[in-house]
Amino acid sequence: MGWHPELAAAIRPFSALRPPTVHCQIAMLAIPADVLLQVYEATMGRPPFLIENLSFSDWASLVHVMQCKPQELDAKVQDFPSNIAESCRKVAIENRELSLIIAKAEKIILELHGYDLSHLDTAGHVSISQRNETFSETYINRMSLSQAELEYFRKKEAERMSNAHTELTPLTRDAGHKFAKNSPFLLLASDSWTAKAVQRVHNRLWKLDTFNYTAPISVEAYMALAAITDAEVENCRSAARNGTIYFPATRGGFDAEFPPIAELEKGKCANRPLLHQKGIPKFPANLSELKKLWNAGRPYLKCTCPSCEKNFTWFDHMIWYIIGNLDKIDPRAPSDKIRMLEFQALLRTTWRKAILAQISFIFMREYMIKIVSLLT
């Protein structure tokens, strides 16, 4: 996919750079051209470039700073370059080794619970080396390259390094690590992995190998989009700590004019869904309960028609899909830029409570993941 036509004027100075994902570009629509230029200049001529590598949440966090603490904008932009190389390096390792990282952690959890481990082959080693050195340093030194040649080569090498993290190893069960019958249930994939993987299924997160992935949107990004305050986030944190569920399945559900699930996927239910949250299970007694633990407190949309089977989606899956398909907001709106503002307005008003429930869920899941990392 290329550059969004509505960004054309803003990106003219860097239109030769690789266009980021649709979601990143939609977030960029909410940022003035001079700020985009400032981001571009922060790594101009020095890959990895921010423009190519910032995530949706990074861009959204810029929106947040612009709206809430504009005096910190310069510092925020200057801060990105110091982190980008390291984050690209981590992503490159993760892209290559994720299956094995998950297998190793799952083995420990399953062992604790006395489950069958035969599907997990964790014999391999997680390699954290850089695999993309094309020539040895010694060889290059012996080639007596001119200054110009050497500079050219170094620049090319840096580009290759920065591109390593764009090659995504799919989480298949056949590539080296054996995952035959069981799908992985640990959610150790980072947001940047998920953001890439979901492009293959046209931004339909529910089509990935498990149902458990969350949309790659950070708490700060939700705060930016829905104008959530620090105090409200603190409330979400206590809700997570206390296991507070705002919209339990046993009650009527929250009606905020959510789109019918049929708008996300043809053939699904065309009636308006309501929002509920998953309950919090007791300590898991078996593997299927253990898998449910990861979605404790998670907001979801479900229609009310009896015995309807094509009727469920996680709230955050819907949000991610809508950002990638903004015409669902209003096909007659004059531009995507104004649709993006309308989408944010929607999150700030009608869907605000749902966003707060989503943030609480993110904290609940963070607690779960922390428990796992203490064990592994």
CA separation, residue 272 to residues 55, 342, 355 (Å): 32, 20, 18
In the complex, the smallest distance separating the C-beta of residue 374 from Zn ion, rounded to whole angstroms, is 31
Reading the block at residue 168, the tokens are: 């995504």
Shorter beta-carbon distance to Zn ion: residue 4 or 64:
64
In the complex, the smallest distance separating the C-beta of residue 71 from Zn ion, rounded to whole angstroms, is 13
The single residue among 39, 171, 303, 326 that binds Zn ion, judged by CB under 5 A, is 303
Reading the block at residue 293, the tokens are: 């633990």
In the complex, the smallest distance separating the C-beta of residue 332 from Zn ion, rounded to whole angstroms, is 27
Part in contact with Zn ion (CB under 5 A); list of ranges 18-26, 31-39, 122-130, 296-304: 296-304
Q: Amino acid identity, residue 136?
A: S
Binding mask 164-203 for Zn ion (x = CB under 5 A): ----------------------------------------
In the complex, the smallest distance separating the C-beta of residue 268 from Zn ion, rounded to whole angstroms, is 8
Shorter beta-carbon distance to Zn ion: residue 40 or 312:
312
Contacts of 152 (CB under 8 A, 6+ apart): none
Number of residues that bind Zn ion (CB under 5 A): 7
3-state secondary structure of 47: coil
**Selection from 357, 223, 230, 370 nearest residue 300 by Cα:** 357
Part in contact with Zn ion (CB under 5 A); list of ranges 235-243, 270-278, 291-299, 354-362: 270-278
Shorter beta-carbon distance to Zn ion: residue 32 or 284:
32
Compute the distance between CA of residue 22 and CA of residue 15 in angstroms, rounded to an integer.
15
In the complex, the smallest distance separating the C-beta of residue 308 from Zn ion, rounded to whole angstroms, is 3
In the complex, the smallest distance separating the C-beta of residue 271 from Zn ion, rounded to whole angstroms, is 5
The single residue among 85, 109, 308, 369 that binds Zn ion, judged by CB under 5 A, is 308
Cis peptide before 48 (omega within 30 of 0): yes
Q: What is the DSSP letter of 184?
A: P
C-alpha 216: how far from chain center: 2
Shorter beta-carbon distance to Zn ion: residue 60 or 239:
60
Whether the Cβ atoms of residue 291 and residue 278 lie closer than 8 Å to each other: no
SS (H, E, C) 203-249: CCHHHCCCCCCCCCCCHHHHHHHHCCCHHHHHHHHHHHHHCCCCCEC
Q: Amino acid identity, residue 36?
A: L
Whether the Cβ atoms of residue 345 and residue 243 lie closer than 8 Å to each other: no
Shorter beta-carbon distance to Zn ion: residue 215 or 269:
269
Whether the Cβ atoms of residue 254 and residue 247 lie closer than 8 Å to each other: yes
Shorter beta-carbon distance to Zn ion: residue 127 or 229:
229
Binding residues for Zn ion restricted to 310-349, rule: CB under 5 A: 311
Q: Considering the rule CB under 5 A, would residue 262 count as an interface residue with Zn ion? A: no
Q: Give the DSSP H or E segment for 82.
A: helix 73-112
Residue 127 φ/ψ, nearest 5 degrees? -100, 130
Shorter beta-carbon distance to Zn ion: residue 33 or 308:
308
Binding mask 64-83 for Zn ion (x = CB under 5 A): ----x---------------
In the complex, the smallest distance separating the C-beta of residue 168 from Zn ion, rounded to whole angstroms, is 33
Q: Considering the rule CB under 5 A, would residue 269 count as an interface residue with Zn ion? A: yes
In the complex, the smallest distance separating the C-beta of residue 220 from Zn ion, rounded to whole angstroms, is 9
In the complex, the smallest distance separating the C-beta of residue 76 from Zn ion, rounded to whole angstroms, is 12
Compute the distance between CA of residue 323 and CA of residue 347 in angstroms, rounded to an integer.
12
Contacts of 376 (CB under 8 A, 6+ apart): 104, 105, 108, 109
Q: Considering the rule CB under 5 A, would residue 375 count as an interface residue with Zn ion? A: no
In the complex, the smallest distance separating the C-beta of residue 62 from Zn ion, rounded to whole angstroms, is 12
Shorter beta-carbon distance to Zn ion: residue 68 or 175:
68
Shorter beta-carbon distance to Zn ion: residue 228 or 322:
228
Which residue(s) pair with 344 in the sheet? none
Site for Zn ion, rule CB under 5 A = 68, 269, 271, 303, 305, 308, 311
